[in-house]
């Protein structure tokens, strides 16, 4: 690995440590059950569904007349998989699509809805058969909160205000009467409402100052109808744009309850991004180092917010995150269909571990995207066979469900850390200013669950080194330990329609409990989640 500088550093998850660990020694770690932190909001496990490629049509929705088994038009196998995942919040209709979307085109009799050209994603023509009713009914069926992205870029204040009225008013108002005419008597509960999306880019190419004024104008006319109170979300920064956050906090402030942040594990926006399944060791470690850099990004945005909002009234919502690789060969250009390898599972695990640490400010995260797009939970066969496959990322989210609403616990974990080149492609690696970023070989996250157990996730990203770790449980008396492991023979292994169970969780037997110490043998390139009682 010519482009990696390997050094032995001592890193800690949540707390600093000063001891030195020998590579041959058992790693001594501590779970501080006696130092409980903030609640890990279940919304950190949120999903994102955009009218992009086959996320909606062929993914979530096939229609009532489809030969593919469905529940009132929702694809049955996908619905059941999402139900098992305990999806807490689902964002819709975009993304960039949101600021091209006019909601009235997606209500009323389906045969009378106008078609729409998806200008952002491949020019696809769609029939608007999936609209407000279809989305909000799905959220009710999944028992998850809907998160609506409103159209600021090409929409009007009146249009957005009427949408809120249509969805949430139970009074004798014009939009409530129209909703009843379209078959829905009772208003929906809609908590999360985004006032625009990526206003700095596809949502209008605005300056933060201009967007702040637009937010204030649109927000003035969004009403809280009886029984429904909106959680208003500002269109926040792209990764390293700290000025954007600073301006919004100054000019919008507590008029918003949340501000978004977008961060992708991506090599850049110009040129190829690399294959999801064909990569070398350098590119593997690069991806993990890049994904972990979100911690520094969150810390810097959080510092701005802490200064300007010391009471923590405004939440930080990472409502787009995940890997972004090249589209799979032979798929439709602009549909962003990519495979999902064990490497992506590590990106999910490491990112979630970071979100847990900052849950005092990070109130939601929405991985991009739920079906068939980017780092998807689920892939469906578009050839009409009705095949579906769960990705390694899905399995991480499923294994991590005990963290939802649990209480964060600090973990001290010494780890070897690799210094990873920031360059991704070999032709870029000679750049003198490429620099390096750290990639710890071990990561862990712990929490006290709502039923007084402990959940402990351990991620060993090393390609070749198993680790034995002794976790001292400070402030908790344990009696039993059980768990699951996600791993595979190769880090580029993935699940497809012919081999749907190449990367799946299995029971984990290498955790032993003695004198309140959990000793764990964690294989190389594996994710282990333990449930301790």
CB burial string 365-388: b at 16+ within 10 A, e below: bbbbbbbbbbbbbbbbbbeeeebb
**Across residues 232-250, what is the average pLDDT?**
98
Cβ neighbours for 473, distance < 8 A, ≥ 6 positions apart: 31, 33, 454, 516, 517, 518, 532
Look at residues 440, 522, 513, 521 and name the one whose alpha carbon lies nearest to residue 478: 513
Name the burial class of residue 98, with classes exposed (0-12), middle (13-18) and buried (19+) by CB atoms within 10 angstroms of its CB.
buried
User: Are 204 and 302 found together in one domain?
Assistant: yes
- Provide the pLDDT for residue 3: 46
Residue 515 belongs to domain spanning: 4-37+410-532
Measure the CA–CA gap between 347 and 177, rounded to whole angstroms: 46
Name the burial class of residue 20, with classes exposed (0-12), middle (13-18) and buried (19+) by CB atoms within 10 angstroms of its CB.
exposed
Measure the CA–CA gap between 211 and 209, rounded to whole angstroms: 6
User: Are 33 and 46 found together in one domain?
Assistant: no
User: Are 296 and 438 found together in one domain?
Assistant: no
- Provide the pLDDT for residue 38: 95
Pick from 371, 387, 404: which residue ends a domain? Answer: 404
- What percentage of the chain carries pLDDT values higher than 70? 93
Helices 208-220 and 157-168 pack at an angle, to 10 degrees, of: 50
CATH number at residue 200: 3.20.20.80
pLDDT beyond 60 at 304: yes
- Provide the pLDDT for residue 427: 55
- Per-residue pLDDT of 348-391, as tens digits, reads 999 999 999 999 999 999 999 999 999 999 999 977 677 999 99
Distances (CA, A) of 94 to 24, 31, 78: 49, 39, 20
- Provide the pLDDT for residue 354: 98
Q: Which residues pair with 486 in a beta bridge?
A: 527
Which positions are annotated as active-site residues? 198, 320
pLDDT beyond 50 at 429: no
User: Are 210 and 351 found together in one domain?
Assistant: yes
pLDDT beyond 70 at 431: no
User: Are 291 and 236 found together in one domain?
Assistant: yes
**Across residues 209-214, what is the average pLDDT?**
98
- Per-residue pLDDT of 486-518, as tens digits, reads 999 999 999 999 999 999 999 999 999 999 999
Most distant pair of Cα atoms in the chain: their distance: 72
> Per the structure block, which two tokens stand in for 404?
């939802």
- Provide the pLDDT for residue 426: 60
What value does the CA radius of gyration of the chain take, rounded to a whole number of Å? 23
- Provide the pLDDT for residue 433: 59
> Per the structure block, which two tokens stand in for 448?
């006290």
User: Are 416 and 394 found together in one domain?
Assistant: no
User: Are 394 and 462 found together in one domain?
Assistant: no
User: Are 341 and 361 found together in one domain?
Assistant: yes
User: Are 364 and 459 found together in one domain?
Assistant: no
Tell me if 37 sits within 8 A of 445, measured CB to CB. Answer: no
The sign of the dihedral angle between the CA atoms of 494, 325, 262, 160 is negative
Q: Is the peptide bond before 237 cis (omega within 30 degrees of 0)?
A: no
Tell me if 461 sits within 8 A of 441, measured CB to CB. Answer: yes
Distances (CA, A) of 241 to 206, 248, 510: 14, 12, 44
This prediction's pTM: 0.94
Q: H helices of 58-156, where?
A: 76-85, 132-142
Angle at 77 between CA 401 and CA 136, to 5 degrees: 75
User: Are 220 and 294 found together in one domain?
Assistant: yes
- Per-residue pLDDT of 81-104, as tens digits, reads 999 999 999 999 999 999 999 999
User: Are 246 and 393 found together in one domain?
Assistant: yes
- Torsion, CA 499, CA 495, CA 440, CA 414, rounded to 10: -60
Number of folded domains that form the chain = 2
> Per the structure block, which two tokens stand in for 152?
């600021």
Tell me if 133 sits within 8 A of 77, measured CB to CB. Answer: no
What is the three-class DSSP state of 314?
Answer: coil
- Torsion, CA 498, CA 502, CA 507, CA 510, rounded to 10: 170
- Provide the pLDDT for residue 423: 87
- Provide the pLDDT for residue 5: 46
CATH number at residue 510: 2.60.40.1180
Measure the CA–CA gap between 29 and 14, rounded to whole angstroms: 12
User: Are 81 and 123 found together in one domain?
Assistant: yes
pLDDT beyond 50 at 11: no
Pick from 375, 404, 433: which residue ends a domain? Answer: 404
Pick from 354, 386, 404: which residue ends a domain? Answer: 404
- Residue indicated by tokens 């990106």: 347
């Amino acid at each position: 690995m010519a482009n990696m500088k390997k050094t032995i550093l001592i890193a800690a998850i949540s707390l600093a440590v000063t001891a030195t660990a020998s590579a041959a020694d058992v790693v001594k770690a501590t779970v501080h059950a006696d130092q409980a932190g903030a609640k890990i909001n279940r919304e950190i496990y949120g999903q994102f569904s955009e009218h992009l490629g086959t996320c909606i049509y062929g993914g979530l929705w096939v229609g009532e007349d489809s030969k593919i088994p469905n529940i009132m038009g929702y694809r049955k196998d996908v619905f059941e998989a999402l139900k098992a995942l305990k999806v807490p919040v689902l964002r819709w209709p975009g993304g960039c699509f949101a600021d091209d979307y006019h909601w009235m085109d997606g209500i009323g009799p389906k045969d009378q809805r106008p078609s729409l050209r998806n200008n952002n994603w491949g020019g696809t023509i769609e029939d608007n058969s999936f609209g407000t009713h279809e989305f909000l009914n799905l959220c009710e069926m999944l028992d998850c909160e809907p998160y609506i992205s409103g159209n600021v870029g090409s929409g009007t204040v009146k249009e957005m205000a009427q949408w809120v009225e249509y969805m949430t008013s139970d009074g004798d108002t014009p939009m409530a009467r129209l909703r009843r005419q379209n078959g829905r008597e009772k208003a929906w509960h809609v908590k999360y409402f985004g006032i625009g999306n990526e206003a700095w880019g596809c949502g209008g190419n605005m300056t933060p100052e201009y967007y702040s004024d637009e937010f204030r104008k649109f927000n003035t006319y969004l009403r809280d109808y009886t029984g429904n109170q909106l959680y208003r979300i500002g269109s926040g920064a792209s990764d390293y744009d700290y000025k954007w956050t600073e301006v919004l906090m100054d000019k919008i402030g507590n008029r918003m309850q949340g501000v978004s942040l977008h961060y992708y594990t991506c090599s850049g926006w110009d040129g190829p991004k690399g294959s999801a399944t064909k990569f070398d060791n350098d590119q593997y470690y690069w991806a993990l180092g890049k994904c972990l850099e979100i911690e520094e990004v969150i810390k810097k945005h959080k510092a701005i917010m802490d200064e300007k909002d010391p009471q923590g009234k405004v939440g930080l919502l990472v409502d787009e995150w995940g890997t972004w690789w090249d589209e799979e060969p032979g798929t439709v250009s602009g549909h962003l269909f990519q495979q999902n390898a064990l490497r992506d599972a590590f990106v999910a695990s490491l990112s979630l571990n970071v979100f847990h640490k900052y849950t005092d400010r990070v109130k939601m995260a929405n991985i991009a995207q739920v079906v068939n797009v980017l780092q998807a939970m689920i892939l469906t066969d578009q050839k009409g066979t009705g095949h579906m496959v769960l990705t390694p990322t899905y399995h991480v989210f499923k294994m991590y469900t005990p963290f939802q609403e649990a209480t964060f616990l600090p973990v001290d974990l010494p780890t070897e850390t690799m210094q990873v080149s920031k360059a991704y492609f070999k032709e870029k690696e000679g750049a003198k200013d490429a620099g390096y970023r750290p990639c710890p070989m071990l990561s862990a996250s712990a929490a006290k669950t709502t039923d007084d157990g402990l959940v402990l996730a351990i991620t060993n990203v090393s390609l070749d080194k198993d680790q034995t770790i002794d976790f001292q449980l400070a402030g908790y008396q344990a009696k039993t330990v059980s768990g699951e492991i996600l791993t595979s023979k190769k880090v580029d292994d993935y699940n497809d329609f012919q081999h749907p169970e190449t990367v799946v969780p299995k029971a984990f037997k290498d955790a032993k409990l003695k004198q309140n110490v959990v000793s764990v043998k964690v294989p190389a390139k594996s994710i282990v989640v333990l449930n301790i009682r």
